[in-house]
């Protein structure tokens, strides 16, 4: 789990490049997730102890961050597993911070 959190933190740092808006707007960070969508089960959960599995835990962490952050919003882009080719293409094209389906 610690490795997953470190990988996500590194991904956020990479994907955050170039996503800053004006000082009046929230900064938007795009995060690509490879383990599916679970908004139906965890779409409003902000208590990580009430989440199960990677999808639920990461969704709850992002929900909690978005609920508490005044300056930044995390936007989630869900890509099909394994997703490595899609992420690599985004990074190479310079569009890593842009959510695309």
pLDDT tens profile 30-41: 888 877 788 899
pTM for the full model? 0.62
Closest to 78 measured CA to CA, from 48, 54, 52, 94: 54
Q: What is the pLDDT of residue 18?
A: 46
Phi, psi of 93 (to 5 degrees): -85, -10
Q: What is the pLDDT of residue 8?
A: 57
pLDDT tens profile 7-61: 555 555 545 544 444 545 889 998 888 777 888 999 999 999 999 998 999 999 9
HEC assignment per residue over the chain: CHHHHHHHHHHHHHHCCCCCCCCCCCEEEEEEECCCCCHHHHCCCCCHHHCCHHHHHHHHHHHHHHHHCCCEEEEEEECCCCCHHHHHHHHHHCCCCCCCC
Residue 79 banded pLDDT, cuts 50, 70, 90? confident
């Amino acid at each position: 789990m610690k490795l997953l959190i470190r990988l996500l933190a590194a991904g956020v740092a990479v994907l955050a490049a170039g996503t800053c808006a004006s000082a009046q707007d929230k900064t938007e960070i795009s995060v690509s997730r490879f383990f599916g969508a679970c908004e139906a089960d965890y779409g409003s959960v902000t208590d990580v102890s009430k989440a199960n599995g990677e999808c639920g835990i990461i969704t709850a962490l992002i929900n909690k961050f978005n609920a508490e952050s005044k300056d930044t919003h995390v936007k989630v882009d869900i890509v099909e597993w394994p997703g490595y080719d899609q992420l690599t293409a985004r990074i190479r094209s310079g569009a890593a911070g842009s959510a695309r389906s």
